[in-house]
Structure 1
């Protein structure tokens, strides 16, 4: 009986955020006639697409019982590198984009090597990486916004029509990435290894699974995703902003926690994270339309995070 309940936990962890999302939508629909419009939901997705992609990488790290505090600033560094390479160095846009993604990937590799080879805690490693990425971003950009980026770098910020609603290409890319990573985690052996490492790394190692390689691969892949998020940031704003990324790390962790991913590792998934990101986006959008000051939006989000972690802790105790 207990085993059957435990087997259903991933589905239950996704069901809770889904119910919460529907309740939030129902409440805000009564507060503002604009809330349920297609244009408003498209706006929510556009506002989420950068944090949403960062949160995919954050989810993978958390599933292995780690955490990445550097993700937002690494994304900001990637956006500055690709925009400056295109605007000031004169590189073709595709090559400039690859340079930015290469930088974020190197940070993922750097974090992964320190965690797997020197056995440093992910919290300490990524806290240090956050400060390093912030300093490099400010030095390299001279704290100046990079403007006049080539059209190709802002293409994902463009929209196309679906039933009279304008949808950003970047929003479609975000959803496609979620679906791709969801399939990988669910249907492939390497994806299941991520869960195994988060559940019990020592037992996983004894079964012959290279746990250190899995951890390194997760951080490397997360770095690639931060590079994609950097491109989406440039596409959405049309500039390379050195002051971007200062809250995205906490927003990404919030999306993961609200989506049912356990901070203790081994439980959760990216589709829950997508729901968590949507919950945050819907709350902020709905409260804004209702005229609630932004400081209360932050307050409510903080309360929800604490509740989600408390529920996760209680469910773990109940499963023992």
Structure 2
């Protein structure tokens, strides 16, 4: 007699796209920051009852959405072993272009928004051309572009804050109810942007080329990948992302402020580093950058709620950045 026992069919594996994205999201470089974020949340929830509430978490997301969006573009650049010191100044110039076009120029708000994002994209493309064609170091290029964008912002704005904006420019600053908590539309846009770039980097040929270029540009070039085009695209796309950050900034503040963006470049680098992306290129994940941005937001919010002076918030953030880079350096040494 033959056995008639039927084996249950194995469960279908998850889609390849989902598996790849989650594998990158839960990589070794991301698990550490995620654990730090969870521990920080547990600690502050034990210190104050005001921390673990829906409105407070909504506030944290609102506070990090602009820097987090800047950090998306910064992640792309750092993955190629570069760095962008100009992103905060580019964002500020983009916000002034949007607001002045709409208020002083009488341009339709949608066209003003498109102009601001396009200008930021042009700044990014200029960075990319100087890095790829002139072959200048990214640090020097973006440091110079920081000063150019900063000066143009103050010249074009005439040192004046642009107010009385059309509702369309501040629409992303409005809120909707989610389980009894008010959440801004800008927060949703920022989170969607993280999801889009997590997919692009994890599932597209372009994303694989970005990682390969950052890991070993010469070897990648010898395999036939146009690394200069990849770098130019990275800086251009990053500039466009800075334009989106400019729109979120305007929506959150309700004005075009020429003094904005003066420290956001360093804060975006902090978010990327704390999220586990290597400053040496080729390793990291954009979802890790989201975790890094949330770590900064949670620490600042929690320390503020517990009555710690702001100067110590900066001190702790600096210590975390040094620790994150040290861990990355040690892990790279062990992998050799």
Q: Shorter-chain-normalised TM-score: which range?
A: over 0.9
Aligned ranges for residues 239-318 of structure 1 at < 5 Å? 239-318=255-334
Residue correspondences, number: 314
Aligned partners of 1:89, 1:9: CA distance in 2, in Å? Answer: 44
Deviating above 6 A after TM superposition, structure 1's stretches of 4 or more consecutive aligned residues are 7-10
Cα offset, 1:30, TM superposition: 1.1
**Contact kept in structure 2, 1:10 and 1:268, CA below 8 Å:** no
Matched, 1:122 2:130: no
Taking structure 2 as the reference length, what is the TM-score of the superposition? 0.92
**Contact kept in structure 2, 1:112 and 1:219, CA below 8 Å:** yes
**Contact kept in structure 2, 1:10 and 1:267, CA below 8 Å:** no
Matched, 1:194 2:210: yes
Cα offset, 1:313, TM superposition: 0.5
- How far does the alpha carbon of each residue in 1:17-66 deviate from its partner, in whole angstroms, 9 at most, with x for none? 11000000011001111101000000000011110100000000000000
Partner of 1:56: 72
Aligned partners of 1:8, 1:38: CA distance in 2, in Å? Answer: 28
Structure whose alpha-carbon radius of gyration is higher? 2
Matched, 1:158 2:174: yes
- How far does the alpha carbon of each residue in 1:284-315 deviate from its partner, in whole angstroms, 9 at most, with x for none? 00001011111000000000000000010001
Aligned partners of 1:30, 1:241: CA distance in 2, in Å? Answer: 38
**Contact kept in structure 1, 2:71 and 2:272, CA below 8 Å:** yes
Taking structure 1 as the reference length, what is the TM-score of the superposition? 0.97
Q: Determine helix, strand or coil for the equivalent of 1:167.
A: strand
**Contact kept in structure 1, 2:299 and 2:313, CA below 8 Å:** yes
Q: Determine helix, strand or coil for the equivalent of 2:262.
A: coil
Partner of 1:233: 249
Uncovered stretches (5+) of structure 1, i.e. residues with no partner: 1-6
Matched, 1:179 2:195: yes
Partner of 2:17: none
Q: Determine helix, strand or coil for the equivalent of 1:166.
A: strand
Partner of 1:25: 41
In the superposition, relative to structure 1, how do residues 216 and 33 fare at CA in structure 2: closer, same or farther (>3 Å)? Answer: same
Partner of 1:3: none
**Contact kept in structure 2, 1:63 and 1:263, CA below 8 Å:** yes
Partner of 2:27: 11
- How far does the alpha carbon of each residue in 1:127-156 deviate from its partner, in whole angstroms, 9 at most, with x for none? 000000000001111111100110000000
Q: Determine helix, strand or coil for the equivalent of 1:161.
A: strand
Cα offset, 1:8, TM superposition: 8.7
Cα offset, 1:9, TM superposition: 11
Aligned partners of 1:16, 1:293: CA distance in 2, in Å? Answer: 27
Aligned partners of 1:64, 1:173: CA distance in 2, in Å? Answer: 25
Q: Superposition RMSD on alpha carbons, in Å?
A: 1.1
**Contact kept in structure 2, 1:68 and 1:122, CA below 8 Å:** yes
**Contact kept in structure 1, 2:24 and 2:202, CA below 8 Å:** no
Aligned partners of 1:289, 1:157: CA distance in 2, in Å? Answer: 24
Partner of 1:4: none
Which of 151, 159, 169 in structure 2 is aligned with 1:143?
Answer: 159
